[in-house]
């Protein structure tokens, strides 16, 4: 039997009462001796790495292992890592399971991915998990519920010599267990073409609708992998520096 981790920290961006984080808690309890849940009070989707500054952030301590924070996912991680885990880092951070996919250009907006990112920059193994097609129906999470534990163990077993930072997306199929041969390591799709803008009748306000995507097919992308009903695993970088330009400037 695989040895359990000592401390696991979980969060999300859909809020403390979301179905996805309840499923993730069940999974985390199979992985760790102690599971800490620090989650937003309200839905914080698309908040990316936003933090709350110049305002007090209210929080509620539900138990020694559960806090609700009236802030963004990154606020939750800052509170957890600088207060609850001030002396010792958690062994693993899990963020999700998000209601809907986080793929391609969406990753830059994702509060789910941002929460994992905050852990990864501190050298903690961090994994963001999202369910394509996930909604308010628990059955829409069947694929992630059945496969997330195996995927997390698979990634933790990879001996890479540096902290792991992954973005995992589960397809919307009601399959049972997906074998590791159907975990595909993918690149982020670059699919965004434009955004839908919806104006109010008086033209004094607007709302942002769906993302309008290109039709091009990138075979090794997370988007195409989900379309093939396979699990997409994208390794993410922490440093946004364009090293190609840096190296070219050095040569010139």
Residue 206 lies in a domain: no
Could you tell me the CATH number of the domain that includes residue 241? Answer: 3.40.1210.10
Compute the distance between CA of residue 121 and CA of residue 104 in angstroms, rounded to an integer.
Answer: 21
Phi and psi, residue 80, nearest 5°: -65, -45
Residue 247 lies in a domain: yes
pLDDT of residue 206: 79
pLDDT of residue 241: 87
pLDDT of residue 215: 65
Compute the distance between CA of residue 156 and CA of residue 209 in angstroms, rounded to an integer.
Answer: 37
Strand partners, 119: none
Name residues of the chain where pLDDT drops below 70: 1, 191-193, 211-218, 252
Two structure tokens written together for 186: 């993918």
Three-state secondary structure of the chain: CCCCEEEEEEECCCCCCCHHHHHHHHHHHHHEEEEEEEEECCCCCCCCCCCCCCCCCCEEEEECCEEEECCCHHHHHHHHHHHHCCCCCCCEEEEEEEECCCCHHHHHCCHHHHHHHHHHCCCCCEEEEEECCCCCCHHHHHHHHHHHHHHHHHHHHCCCCCCCEEEEEECCCCCCCCCHHHEEECECCCCEEEEEEEECCCCCCEEEEEEEECCCCCCCEHHHHHHCCCEEEEECCCCCCCHHHHHHHHHC
Total domains present in the chain: 1
- State what percent of residues in the chain have pLDDT above 70: 94
Average pLDDT along the chain:
91
Residue 207 lies in a domain: no
Compute the distance between CA of residue 124 and CA of residue 30 in angstroms, rounded to an integer.
Answer: 19
Residue 208 lies in a domain: no
Does the predicted TM-score (pTM) go above 0.85? yes
- Domain containing 53: what range? 5-188+218-251
pLDDT of residue 217: 65
- In the block, tokens 């993918």 appear at 186
Residue 202 lies in a domain: no
pLDDT digits (tens, 9 = 90+) for 64-90: 999 999 999 999 999 999 999 999 999
Residue 46 lies in a domain: yes
Compute the distance between CA of residue 53 and CA of residue 132 in angstroms, rounded to an integer.
Answer: 32
Residue 14 lies in a domain: yes
Q: 142-157 and 19-31 helices cross at what angle (nearest 10)?
A: 40
Residue 136 lies in a domain: yes
With a CB cutoff of 8 Å and minimum separation 6, the contacts of 220 are 184, 186, 187
DSSP β-ladder status, 165-170 and 231-235: antiparallel
């Amino acid at each position: 039997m695989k040895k359990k981790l000592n401390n696991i920290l979980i969060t999300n961006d859909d809020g403390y009462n979301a179905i996805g984080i309840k499923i993730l808690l069940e999974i985390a309890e199979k992985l760790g001796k102690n599971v800490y849940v620090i989650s937003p009070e309200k839905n914080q989707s698309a908040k990316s790495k936003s933090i709350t500054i110049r305002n007090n952030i209210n929080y509620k301590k539900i138990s020694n292992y559960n806090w609700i924070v009236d802030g963004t996912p990154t606020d939750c991680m800052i509170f957890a890592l600088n207060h609850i885990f001030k002396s010792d880092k958690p062994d693993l951070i899990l963020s999700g399971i998000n209601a809907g996919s986080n793929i391609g250009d969406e990753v830059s907006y994702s509060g789910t991915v941002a929460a994992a990112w905050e852990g990864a920059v501190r050298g903690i193994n961090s994994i963001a998990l999202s369910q394509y097609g996930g909604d308010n129906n628990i059955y829409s999470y069947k694929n992630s519920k059945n496969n997330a534990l195996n995927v997390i163990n698979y990634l933790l077993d990879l001996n890479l010599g540096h902290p792991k930072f992954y973005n995992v997306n589960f397809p919307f199929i009601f399959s049972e267990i997906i074998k590791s041969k159907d975990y595909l390591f993918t690149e982020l799709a670059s699919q965004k073409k434009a955004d839908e803008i919806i104006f109010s009748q008086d033209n004094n306000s607007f709302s942002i609708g769906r993302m309008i995507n290109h039709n091009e097919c990138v075979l090794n992308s997370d988007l195409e992998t989900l379309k093939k009903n396979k699990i997409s695993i994208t390794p993410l970088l922490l440093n946004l520096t364009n090293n190609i330009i840096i190296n070219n400037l050095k040569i010139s």
